[in-house]
Amino acid sequence: MPSPLTRSSARGRAAAALLVAGLLAPLTACGGDDGAGDAATGLTVLAASSLTDVFEEAGAAYEKEHPGTKVTFSFAGSQELAAQVKQGAPADVLVTADTTTMDRLRAETGTPVVIAKNRLVIATAPGNPEKVGGLADLADPELKVVLAAPEVPVGRYSRQILRAQGLTVKPVSQEPNVRAVLSKVELGEADAGLVYRTDVTAAGGKVDSVDIPDARNAVASYPAATLDGSEHGDAAAAFVRWLSSPSARKILTGAGFQRP
């Protein structure tokens, strides 16, 4: 049978162990919170609609290279994204489909950097049943043409190139972003629409395209910048830098975007 002294020593050791565990528990919890916080560090990126497919791929690649960061995208027309920024929407990075929109947000962003470029094409139904051959055909009043609204970058580019050729086109609808234009053609609600080359590539055979000669085309530039209201400034800046890295550029050019 254990002696009273032995039982007393055992109780003392147990009490000491409990005391140490109690002291360490808050420290362990703090360490756990920090780890969870790192794992949960999230970036919200506002990006132009034409970047939808390629940025989903780029985001997955970035998360793989930076396991402590989760990237969430919100895609819309650049003009809609600008309105969100002006209204103080919580976000960390902005990527637009034109420099004009980004320049209007100088007071809300860091210094932008162009990460890619793009060009326009004419999207048609598969097989091009209306035999659209070029920009001049879009002026045919019998052809159902859809364009993006004038305040949307692709809509502004579209009108720029049509105006330069002296063409008047009356669209059957004016859409809020380039993906909506593409959707109208895919669904057969329009015979043709002006979209980015990369949108046709992303459509995967659901539409055909007619190229526009470079001399008659417009070049779309995609600037990226951190947002001053970001709560993750360093992480946001790291993501913007990464968008110009070789690995990001490989993803962008693989999707049909041009180098900046």
Q: What is the pLDDT of residue 36?
A: 37
Q: What is the mean pLDDT of residues 151-156?
A: 96
For residues 120 and 143, what is the distance between their CA atoms, to the nearest angstrom?
19
> Does the pLDDT of residue 28 top 60, yes or no?
no
pLDDT in tens, 237-253: 999 999 999 999 999 99
Query: Residue by residue, what is the 3-state secondary structure of the chain?
Result: CCCHHHHHHHHHHHHHHHHHHHHHHHHHHHHHHHHHHHHCCEEEEEEEHHHHHHHHHHHHHHHHHCCCCEEEEEEECHHHHHHHHHCCCCCCEEECCCHHHHHCCHHHECCCEEEEEEEEEEEECCCCCCCCCCHHHHHCCCCCEEEECCCCHHHHHHHHHHHHCCCCCCCCEEECCHHHHHHHHHCCCCCEEEEEHHHHHHHCCCCEEEECCHHHCCEEEEEEEEECCCCCHHHHHHHHHHCCCHHHHHHHHHCCCECC
Q: Do domains 41-114+221-254 and 118-219 have the same CATH topology?
A: yes
Q: For domain 41-114+221-254, give the CATH number.
A: 3.40.190.10
Instruction: Give the range among 37-46, 127-136, 179-188 with minimum mean pLDDT.
Output: 37-46
> Does the pLDDT of residue 34 top 50, yes or no?
no
Q: Give the N- to C-terminal CA distance of the chain in Å, as an integer.
A: 84
> Does the pLDDT of residue 33 top 70, yes or no?
no
> Does the pLDDT of residue 157 top 50, yes or no?
yes
Q: What is the pLDDT of residue 39?
A: 53
Superfamily of domain 118-219: Periplasmic binding protein-like II (3.40.190.10)
Q: What is the mean pLDDT of residues 127-147?
A: 98
Hey, what are 195's tokens?
A: 């979209």
Q: How confident is the model at residue 41 (pLDDT cuts 50, 70, 90)?
A: confident
> Does the pLDDT of residue 75 top 80, yes or no?
yes
Q: What is the pLDDT of residue 37?
A: 42
Where along the chain do its domains lie?
Answer: 41-114+221-254, 118-219
